Structure 1
């Protein structure tokens, strides 16, 4: 469970880095072109990883 939460945090950081690397631009017709889907995806990975980390911490505390 610990490795999975760290992996999800890593994927979240990759989404943020990819969003920054791809960047956004305004097309000639005035439309904004950006990879917006990466923002909620990063939040999903961060929150899921955080919940798994908390569950792992609680599980270890109860086992002691």
Structure 2
């Protein structure tokens, strides 16, 4: 589960880089900003799940 979340976070970073950003004629920055916090959410959730899994396995021994 945690590896899947890390993979989704990685895909968000790749998509952000692939889509790119540009400046419109009126000076507005056009970019897929929603992918940045979404990637962080996936990375942090995956990390917390990995730590919880590690602790659970340590306690079970």
> Normalised by the size of structure 1, how large is the TM-score?
0.94
Where does the alignment leave 5 or more consecutive residues of structure 2 unmatched? none
Where does the alignment leave 5 or more consecutive residues of structure 1 unmatched? none
Could you say what the CA RMSD is over the residues aligned between the two structures, in angstroms?
0.3
What's the CA shift for 1:45?
Answer: 0.2
Question: What do the CA deviations read for 1:17-61 (whole angstroms, capped 9, x no partner)?
Answer: 000000000001111000000000000000000000000000000
CA distance in 2, matches of 1:30, 1:60: 53
Aligned length: 61
Instruction: Could you list the structure 1 runs, at least 4 aligned residues long, displaced by more than 4 angstroms after superposition.
Output: none
> Normalised by the size of structure 2, how large is the TM-score?
0.99
CA distance in 2, matches of 1:27, 1:45: 30
